Structures are given as C-alpha cells and as structure tokens.
Chains A and B, each alone.
Chain A
Amino acid sequence: MNMTSRVSRLRDERVTLAHGGGGKAMCDLIEEVFTDVFDPPGMEDQARLTDAALREAGTRLAFTTDSFVVTPVEFPGGDIGKIAVCGTVNDLVVGGAVPLWLSASFIIEEGCEIALLRRIVGSMAREAKAAGVRIVTGDTKVVGRGSADQVFVTTSGIGVIPAGRDMRAESVEPGDIAIVNGVLGDHGAAILAARGDLALSTEIESDCQSLGHLMEAVLKAAPGVKASRDATRGGLASALNEIAEAADVTVEIDETALPLREEVKGMCEILGLDPLYLANEGTLVLFVPPDQTEATLEAMRSTEAGRGAVAVGRARDKGPVPVTMRTAFGGERIVDMLVGEQLPRIC
C-alpha cells in the first residue's frame, strides 16, 4: 500500500461502537490511528520474531505485562500512552533485561475523541523510539459508554538478559548503599493536582520516563549492582520494603538525603500526605556495594534520567522492622508499607 498517496477514510471525531465491530470502520481506525504510526508500520495480529535478535543480546528471555488506567489520561509531563511504554520498559530494565519488543492493547470507551487517541499513540511511538523498543503487535476493543474511562492500555514486553547479569533483591547485604536517580513523588503529585479535585495549581510535572539508557550506563560503570526496582505505586517506601523483606536486612534511610522538590513537600504538608508513598513513573532504586557507590552515581549523573542521582540510605543487619528513617529532627521512625491508599487529612 502506498501510504503517502492514501486519502484518510477516517472522518469521525469520536469512537463509536462501529469502530469495534470488525468491519471497515474498525480497519480504518486501526490502520490510521495505530499501525501506521508505529514503527515498522503495518503490524500484524501475530508478531513473528527471529531468534537471532535474541541470541545476539543475551541468554535469557524476560517477559512482563502491565495494564494502565490513569485519570486524567493526559497530565503535565505525559499521558497514558507514555506511561504504558515507560512502565513496561522499566519493568524489563529493572530485571536487568534489554527491552526489545512491546505489544499494545487498547480498551476504548465509546465516545472517546479520536484526536485524543492519536495524541496517545503518537506519544507511545515517540517514547518507544527513545527507549529503543518496537511495538510489534496489538489489539483494540471498543466498549459502551461508562464501561471504561476514555481509554485503558495494556502493554506486554519482551526483553533479553545479557549473560552474566543476575540482579536479585535477595543478594543485598548489610553495608550496601541505596541510590535513587532523582526527585521523588513528582508523578503522584502531578496527577493529584491534574485531577483538579483539590483546586491546587502547581507546576509539578510527572517524572514519567524510560530507564533503559540509565541502567545500561550504570551497569557498564558498576557491574556489581545487586538489586534494582522501579518505585511506582506505593513510592520509595514500598520499593524499599520489598527489597528489605527479600534480602532479610533492614534498610535505613536518611530524611535529609531524600531528593524532594519544595512544591511536592508543600503539597504533602497541605494534604497530610507522605512523599515517601507518592507514586513515581521513572524512579530507579538501586542497591550497590559501598565501593561502587561513587562509580554508580557518576554514571547515573551522566545520563538525562539520572542527573539528580543521590544515595539515600544503606542496608544494615536485620532489625525489628524492614525500613527505618533517621528524621531531620534527629529521631527515628518506621517506614511501613502503605495501608490502602493515602487519603488527604481533614485538617
């Protein structure tokens, strides 16, 4: 098919149930909004992948999947499409894999604006290119009004783990240093503000970003990285709790070392929220042996996604609780897993 000379057949402004009916309308939507935008264009129901590409990159396959629902679907710093690519890429990256291929499935609510879909798919294509992955297969379904909230996206990802890489949380030992790549809580704060329920206006943008290039830079400089996590839902607190439990150590963090924007701190003070539990969408948490701390920080800071890298704490012998924090005030407190979701306080 000659793409440049084709006239657009998709005239609708909004998705209707006809776009999910399996006929011409559906084909038009899929081709014009989705497959033509992704690289390479014209993907099929089934991606056929050669094993040469796998063998070249490593010895083990990594496979992951994640569903994305976010309100609002577009927010300062990103949209649901960008998160859907970054989230799955990052799941692969923190397991030590080089991400290669993604699938993308869309559940679209009747009435969803086609212009919105185009923007979402455009940002997926851009993010995929930046992260060095290809979206090779996908699916769309249209559901009646009220059965979804505009659009839900599911991405699955395949990556390859190079020989010799073995990052597992269990291998963290007392003395190892905990490092993050930059400011915490921006995504959670940006989403809260963008929902508009709280009538707060801020300039905070989501930190939504792919971590692949950052991770490769780190592993080149500090091959001894023991554990890595993508601190998404539940924030830094949850990521550290998971690692501490798996490794049978206690992690002690230092409140004064935590990288937090003044705006995020202020918003948390007003709402009675704890930034340690705010969601991130591009925050890497690493544990490295003490002698590789400097090399790790230097490598991270040389990349765009790691410019704000700092050490925030260290593992020590197992105590009564998994994670504690030395407060700026000189006290010590427990940093537990979150119960339910954080709710703004009354006063």
Chain B
Amino acid sequence: MRYVQEFRDPVAAKGVLAAIARVADEIGVTKEDPVHIMEICGGHTHAIFRYGLDKLVHEGVEFIHGPGCPVCVLPMSRVDECVELAERPEVIFTTFGDAMRVPGTRKSLMQAKADGADIRMVYSPLDALELARRNPEREVVFFGLGFETTTPSTALSIQQAAREGLTNFTVFCNHITVPPPIRALLSDPHMVLDGFVGPGHVSMVIGVHPYDFIAEEFGKPLVVSGFEPLDLLQSVLMVIEQIRDGRAEIENQYARVVPEYGNPVSLAAIEDVYEPRPSFEWRGLGEIDESGLRICDRYSAFDAEAKFGIGYGAAAGRAVVEEPEGCACGLVMTGRAKPTECPQFGRGCTPEMPLGALMVSSEGACAAYWQYGGARAVEAAE
C-alpha cells in the first residue's frame, strides 16, 4: 500500500525513537516522573497499541488516552433512545457497525436486531439515503454519530435529502465536537496533562486554529498528528521538544492532509445544517457546554428528534443514567487512572460483556489495552 507503508518503516522509526529518548533525557523525565501526553483520538489509541508504541518510546513518556472515541462517550440514555426508535415498526434504523454493541440500559442495538428490529449496518449516511429512496413506505433513520470527521457527511446527506424532497429520511443527531471536552479536561483541577497529540482527521475539517486556546489560555502544546506509527512518533517528538524549549504552540505534523484553515466545503455544510446544543452529556465525563450539535430548524423535517418527539435535555424529561458501580471510565479518560487500575477491568468488564464506555469500541482505551496485551500482562504479573 503506497503512501501507507512509508509511514510504517521500522528503520525510520528507530531514528525518531532515539530522538525522543534524547529529548526525554534532556528534560529529565523518568518512569516514576514521566511527561503525560494525551492522544485525544480513539484512532490514535488503537494505533499506539496495534504497533506497541507505548512500549517502544522512552519510559519517561506516558500516553494518556483521551475521550476521542465517539462510540465510547455516547451516553447510555441515547443508546436507549436508539433502541426505542429502532423498535418502531415503520423504522429502518441505520448505523455505523461499531455502534451495534454499545450497551444501553435495556439492550444494545445488536440485541434489538435479534429481537426483530430492522437495523442495518451502513458505511456512509449516503447508504441510508439510498435505503430511503428504495423504501418510500418506511421511515429510514440514520444514527448520526461521531466528531467533525463524520459530521460533514451527515450534513451533506441531509442537504441531498432536502434537494430531493425525501419525506422518509431523518437523522438521529449525536454529533459532537472535539475542542469543548479538551477545555473541560484542562479546567479540571486534578488535570495532570503536559501536552496533546491532536486528531488529524478532525483538523482535516476544522483546521488547526480551534485549538489555539490550549496554547494561549492553558499554556500547553498540541501537535495535530496523522495515524500511522511514524506520524505518531514524530508528533510525540514535536510535543516534547516544545516542552523542553518551554514553548506552547499548536503545530501541524499532518500537513500532507490537514490545511491550516480546514476544509471550507465541509465547514459550510456544518454551518448550514447544525447548531450547537447548550450542552451535551458525555459518558464518563458528564455534561459539557456546547459540545454537541443538533439539526437546525431549517432542516427540522430531517431531524428524528423532532419527527419522533424525542428531544434532548431536561425539557424532554430525560434522566441521566448513572454509570455502573465500580466503573472508572471517568478517571481513565481524565488521565487519573490506567485501564488496568480499574477494579472492574477484565473482571466485571471485558469486550464480550462491556460494563464501561471505554471497553465498548475497539478504539476505547480499555478495549485496546485488553486486545493488545494490557490485560494479559496484568494477569501474568499477578
């Protein structure tokens, strides 16, 4: 695979790892007193474990796994609402594959499908649109989920549905944005983070400037990064070089994909279709101001919340569903605990029977720990 393999070159990696070690030694970080770097994105978390980067970097560099897995941070009450929508006889409920297993309070979408709900996995909202065209007698609902990476494609499909005058296509909108939870994390008095590796595919849409506040208000460095192992290592190097030099800047490692000001077409579609909610609940983190998007009134005909009377927030009489007892997802997501330090990890909570959010998707920190060895390493050490 050209343009991918080059960024997985083990020889080049050795050079970057050596440079990271040099800078780490210059800063004087150790295993006991490490520098804490949060990779915000679940895709980065997955790559770190898939390539064993956490074990390859200098022991004074510690990765903290951020809240950037949209499946993981989806509140349980919203999963329940998905199941209720999917169970309506007129509805064909369409969703990305990895949302199927997320547990709700009653059941997951996978279980609802087994119980007879018409739930279809799609790879793009355009597939859902096609289903709506082919099934005019049914109501096709697309489960809009994800950060700025998937938000534009949902917006474009709503615009397309409006152009075609489709009356049986709606979106159950759960799109969320990256900067607000970072602000929330940085405002937390227990925060221990020294710098960030930013999600490249989000910046492909929004550019690098929405992160300026991290450097300007909180004095922390952030490097927007690609997803191959060499991208990640180079980004870590750039972050710790900033720390060594006492700088706090927003830098772009992923310049081959990320334009400084993002993608204007995507941004225009987002601007046209959505508006921010006053606040949105994040599983493990609670309500965060202006962190979620809703479909604006102009497109309310395509809003499943409006069409099926679901709503969001206190006005809808919605109760916040408590996390299961003993679940430490909130602590893990804020960098205050490792997945393996959670009392439920590998005991009450496994990928087969996930209890907490971070075990649900393969991009969740706990699931990645489990899949690529964290769990067994703990067992072996015990």
How far is it, in angstroms, between the C-alpha of A92 and the C-alpha of B98 when the chains are bound? 36
- B233 nearest in chain A by CB position: A329
The smallest C-beta distance from B368 to any residue of chain A, in angstroms, reads 10
Q: How large is the interface on B (under 10, 10 to 19, 20 to 34, 35 or more residues)?
A: 35 or more
Q: Which residues of A contact B (CB under 8 A)?
A: 197-199, 262, 265-266, 269, 271-272, 320-321, 327-334, 336, 339-340, 343-347
The reply to whether A320 and B377 contact each other, CB–CB distance below 8 Å, is yes
Apart from A331-B51, A346-B96, what 6 extra A-B contacts exist at CB < 8 Å?
Answer: A197-B122, A197-B123, A265-B1, A332-B373, A343-B121, A346-B145
- B199 nearest in chain A by CB position: A347
In the assembled complex, 25 residue pairs joining A and B whose CB atoms fall closer than 8 Å, in A order, are: A197-B122, A199-B124, A272-B362, A320-B379, A327-B51, A327-B52, A329-B10, A329-B51, A329-B229, A330-B13, A330-B14, A330-B56, A331-B51, A331-B52, A331-B56, A334-B371, A334-B373, A339-B351, A340-B101, A340-B352, A343-B101, A343-B121, A345-B96, A346-B145, A347-B201
Given A336-B371, A346-B145, A197–B127 Cβ distance below 8 Å? yes
The smallest C-beta distance from B233 to any residue of chain A, in angstroms, reads 10
How far is it, in angstroms, between the C-alpha of A332 and the C-alpha of B376 when the chains are bound? 13
The 5 lowest CB-CB distance pairs between A and B, nearest first, are A331-B52, A343-B97, A320-B380, A344-B97, A346-B96
Q: Which residues of B contact A (CB under 8 A)?
A: 1, 4, 8, 10, 13-14, 43, 49-53, 55-56, 70-71, 96-101, 110, 120-124, 127, 145-147, 149-150, 201, 229, 351-352, 361-363, 371-373, 376-377, 379-380
How far is it, in angstroms, between the C-alpha of A262 and the C-alpha of B51 when the chains are bound? 19
The reply to whether A347 and B43 contact each other, CB–CB distance below 8 Å, is yes
- B54 nearest in chain A by CB position: A331
The reply to whether A199 and B123 contact each other, CB–CB distance below 8 Å, is yes
How far is it, in angstroms, between the C-alpha of A347 and the C-alpha of B229 when the chains are bound? 17
Candidates B1, B51, B100; contact of A343 at CB < 8 Å: B100
Given A320-B379, A340-B352, A346–B373 Cβ distance below 8 Å? no
Counting chain B CB atoms within 10 Å of each CB, which of A332, A333, A343, A346 scores highest? A346
- B145 nearest in chain A by CB position: A346
The reply to whether B70 and A328 contact each other, CB–CB distance below 8 Å, is no
How far is it, in angstroms, between the C-alpha of A345 and the C-alpha of B149 when the chains are bound? 13
The reply to whether B352 and A344 contact each other, CB–CB distance below 8 Å, is no
The reply to whether B98 and A344 contact each other, CB–CB distance below 8 Å, is yes
How far is it, in angstroms, between the C-alpha of A329 and the C-alpha of B47 when the chains are bound? 11
The reply to whether A329 and B121 contact each other, CB–CB distance below 8 Å, is no
Q: Which residues of B contact A199 (CB under 8 A)?
A: 123-124, 127
Candidates B4, B10, B149, B229; contact of A269 at CB < 8 Å: B4
The smallest C-beta distance from A214 to any residue of chain B, in angstroms, reads 29
The reply to whether B352 and A346 contact each other, CB–CB distance below 8 Å, is no
The smallest C-beta distance from B126 to any residue of chain A, in angstroms, reads 8
How far is it, in angstroms, between the C-alpha of A266 and the C-alpha of B5 when the chains are bound? 11
Candidates A198, A266, A329, A345; contact of B98 at CB < 8 Å: A345
The reply to whether B4 and A334 contact each other, CB–CB distance below 8 Å, is no
Candidates B14, B97, B120, B379; contact of A345 at CB < 8 Å: B97
